[in-house]
Structure 1
């Protein structure tokens, strides 16, 4: 590319019309096209998820009910113990999103701190350098796998096993287990839990939940009828 710009003529002033611009683009394509080709190492999922994750973070302002974020699976007390209660909360949140209405799809991203205080605590405990994006801080989960003396693959498999053995109702349990992802955001690994509304309301251990904004609420038994009617009406 060195010096090739001299061969691309750009008119001065305001005389650069649409036709001239098109000719310049075609000229550039002719100069560089021969050295480009399909990449054997191209990973479309990686590129897509960098963009999609940033879209999720941005859209969470206006669609708070469909997204949630967790800094990790460990409590920030330095004891390096897997927080089972927090993991159950993630699964309940997936239920709550799935119960919003028919057609809803949502995500819980683990490895993303939504407060600077949490990000600073992770940095202090594990020496992580979070990546800021808007109001979020991407911390990743590598440090947690290391603290648990596991590889990322081992941790991922353990999470999949926990989902399959969880109190999530079917068919949501199968959906979540099949669609949990380990994705890269630059040098950080994020675990992405995906949920989707099923043909009827989902539950966790027989309890039904729903998301209102970023709040998770258990639905009282007196409102079960309304919940099921809403799903039947959307079919």
Structure 2
């Protein structure tokens, strides 16, 4: 039996990035910030070409109470069925976020271990990658190696993965703190390695398709004043 999972369409990702309603119900939400300002639009266009996103800090906008840029890029990666790679630029060192939730598989541990063994340990053995699941951030007290941490991760919430837009699915992250040039090299190597992933081995699935004639209840704010990005957390 082929199991269906929710994925957005690329044209709807573009629509909600401009504050327009998606044609497909459930893609956007009035509770999640998606609409980009002019500066974010430039970074988003660069990310499309590079296959990874670079933001200053977390890209957090105070009045929107979130990061529209990171949200919309994650939506795009979900639509493309790709790993979502983001570099957060900070004053002391950068943080690479490698998000496996956008693969939408029942068990992502094999893919996470593949990246660790064939990219991070093979080429960047001096670094100390960590994991993050959902909103739970490591406090640094767990001194086990990264592969052991992956083995003990909570399982994928398959019901959420099947039915929810990606903003309703927990992050499944490998994080790496490093200098900027190393961060760029890591994401390039991760994206190259991930192109060889065979998702069909871990999940039989097809997209849930909803007619464009269905009513769309998404409400994406379009008239509010754009805020400058808040960099107070840097």
TM-score by length of 1: 0.23
TM-score by length of 2: 0.23
Greater per-residue helix proportion: 1
Higher relative contact order at CA 8 Å, sep ≥6: structure 1 or structure 2? 2
Larger Rg: 1
